[in-house]
Chains A and B, each alone.
Chain A
């Protein structure tokens, strides 16, 4: 059974940092593109960042370029999202997804507030 389990969300002050993690099981993690998606209230869905199987290619939505970094550790079946310089508009639920989203984690809430 494919499972994706996110962790690392929480409350952070504007300008602060968080590191999201996603642990995968039930499939060969190293065979798939992985990504982080968020739902932006009033704006819909947004692929925040995606990463190729071997980590050699990474793509980010413009609004997070220079602030967020996606990475993966295939030996640990894990995906990460380092979020720096967080802003109020980054506050939402973040989902870890396999490829184009056939499977998702349960989501982790990021709250940015002073």
Chain B
């Protein structure tokens, strides 16, 4: 049972816009910054979003993050086949004194 709740799956067709939600509580998302990762099996996760809505250099602007209250979202526009991967949200949790992840959302590009 992950501290942050994500839908287990999402899907879209090429060119579509897809959003992935991440729900937490005051002690994590409510008070702290949110991070998003793209993960492919057998590889290190790729940081897509940091500090709620900032993109590291090299991450396309098709990826965007937002936060409201105790929830956050990752939006992907202009969906591409190479976007098919697992996506995870993360945040610091004050109650647990640790970094916590969501359970991950498997994105399928139909």
Partner of B101, one of A45, A62, A93, A107: A45
Query: Are B88 and A101 within 8 A (Cβ)?
Result: no
**A52 CB to nearest B CB, Å:** 13
Q: Are B37 and A102 in contact (CB under 8 A)?
A: no
Chain B residues with CB under 8 Å of chain A are 2, 35, 37, 39, 42, 44-45, 47, 50, 56, 86, 88, 90, 96-104
Enumerate 24 A-B pairs (CB-CB under 8 Å) in ascending A order.
A37-B45, A39-B39, A43-B103, A44-B101, A44-B102, A44-B104, A45-B88, A45-B90, A46-B101, A47-B90, A47-B98, A47-B100, A50-B99, A59-B97, A60-B98, A61-B98, A62-B98, A93-B42, A97-B44, A101-B37, A101-B44, A101-B45, A105-B44, A106-B44
Please give, as numbers and ranges, the residues of chain B lying within 8 Å of A102 by CB-CB distance.
Answer: 47, 50, 56
Contacting residues, chain B, for A43 (C-beta < 8 A): 103
A95 proximal to B (CB < 8 A): yes
- Are B101 and A101 interface neighbours, CB within 8 A? no
B44 touches A104 (CB 8 A): yes
- Does A100 have its Cβ within 8 Å of any Cβ on chain B? yes
Measured between C-beta atoms, what is the minimum distance from B49 to chain A in Å?
Answer: 10
> Which 3 interchain pairs have the tightest Cβ spacing?
A104-B44, A47-B99, A44-B104
Chain A contact-residue range equals 20 to 34
**Inter-chain pairs besides A39-B39, A102-B56, 17 sampled, C-beta below 8 Å:** A37-B45, A43-B103, A44-B2, A44-B103, A44-B104, A45-B39, A45-B101, A45-B104, A47-B100, A50-B99, A59-B97, A101-B37, A101-B45, A102-B47, A102-B50, A104-B44, A105-B44
Q: Which residues of A contact B (CB under 8 A)?
A: 35, 37, 39, 43-47, 50, 59-62, 93, 95, 97, 100-102, 104-107
Q: Which residue of A lies closest to B58 (CB)?
A: A102
Question: CB distance A100 to B90 under 8 Å?
Answer: yes
Q: Are A45 and B37 in contact (CB under 8 A)?
A: yes
Are A100 and B47 within 8 A (Cβ)?
Answer: yes
Q: Which residue of the partner chain B has the closest CB to A104?
A: B44
